[in-house]
Structure 1
């Protein structure tokens, strides 16, 4: 077992940057172990060894955090695929896998709650269901040894505040990282992003920021506007897709066939590693302390981000070295050929 790492708040207070690899849903969908559409994380109970393996790969690539794969592992999603009766098994299994790998690798383990897709501020029953979802997932995370909580991908300020309220009430003092996913028209609640960040800070979030939805190119302009509007550390975790001003979110991307790319044609919009490096450098320039990558992420992208942050994770042993390529290399007898 590796040495126990410093806690999230200690690292942030010391001015350190924390890297968190996300993107489990899309990666397991690409590998053929998760169904696009419902996106229920069934791989957690059907192939737990694969989940543990991906946790290890992300830690090997430089992630400081093992994020328990409980995203969309809540009642609403599992009900949609007829597995709500396995809810606790899903969550506890995911948390145990994450805790085990975090202990092995000397990284932090985070519990994860997210958008419920049933939030309705005008419906008391919907609010009660959301509160139940956040309460039980938070309590399971506490009991399985989470170091902090990630509450993410909220489109509505009210739902994000409710999630934070539940973490504070049931989280046994765990700090909360709370992030919004901003649509092409902004947040769905009518609040500006700046207003939403400030509200979360005032409600006691340890870290606030942005995740998912937008790629680096269209998340950065929002970051420029809001990163200095709050006093707590800022989080930035874009999707790894080439979004544009005209198509600012991965959901608005149009494929080569003229139809919506989400999700089967997303690969044609994947970022290159140099784009990830450019994003990481911009985060350094802005002083963003909690950085990562969301949907579309894979270990080689996390390694690139970590190296841009000045790290040398174990995976850097295998970072590209084109000087030894038989055609493009410059060492010894290599190189100076043309293709």
Structure 2
């Protein structure tokens, strides 16, 4: 992918970051206020800061919406940052975190976990994370080849091959067990509903570590965007940078997928939107993509509660409806050709 040399000024980037923080705060308030029963911002504030045990708003906010919103923020941050990382490391503008086999590995492991008796989300979330980790390690190992280092092309090809293989295994297991299929459908659609505070607590350490590694990886990723030969000439250890980046992607996307199921398009959309305002500097692109991811995920969740009220449309379906036209427009704008 050709490197865009147009750089946004530092002051503009600061304003973009501040604007995204404000947008994320607004999305948090909307997520706490809107649902089957709409609440005023004042009622939400009181339920969070000075709860009245007898007030209905307290139970709605603290027991139902607050854990869901916290998880939405964590997952949005994770998928947004992972999307920026995977597009940078593969130099593929059409890549998302699932390219490394994360979604396929998590899905396969979830089915195995369900068949072994882990029928609740808090049980098979660890299967999902382990499956995402194992699939990503396999992709990275295959992509490294005999010359010792993965390239954007080998990462993409290995990821597609592993994903196709695991998807076929998953379908084979589901076709042979109706009970597993019924439980799996709840997870695979991609949603924030039905997740309690324990889920957010379980994935929090992995997401925080992944975000830290992503920020550490940002300077090296800027050098890699100029080409591996140039990066080596600038003193970058290319293989080490790839390992750190892929580890961050696995932690971020693996934890997010384990908690909420495969949520498509988010990691694809937000880096492109953020790059429009920040330029290609990953030191700014990664945090802005993370904030944009949290904002978009919460807004999609809120929209899903509104469009079919009093029912609810799953977040993964809402994002698919938003992301599919974006993906088509992106492909048409690039004439379906990815420059590597």
Query: Normalising TM by the smaller chain, what interval?
Result: under 0.3
**Which structure features the higher share of helix residues?**
2
Greater RCO, 1 or 2 (C-alpha within 8 Å, sep 6+)? 2
- TM-score (ref. length: structure 2): 0.24
- TM-score (ref. length: structure 1): 0.24
**Which structure features the higher share of strand residues?**
1
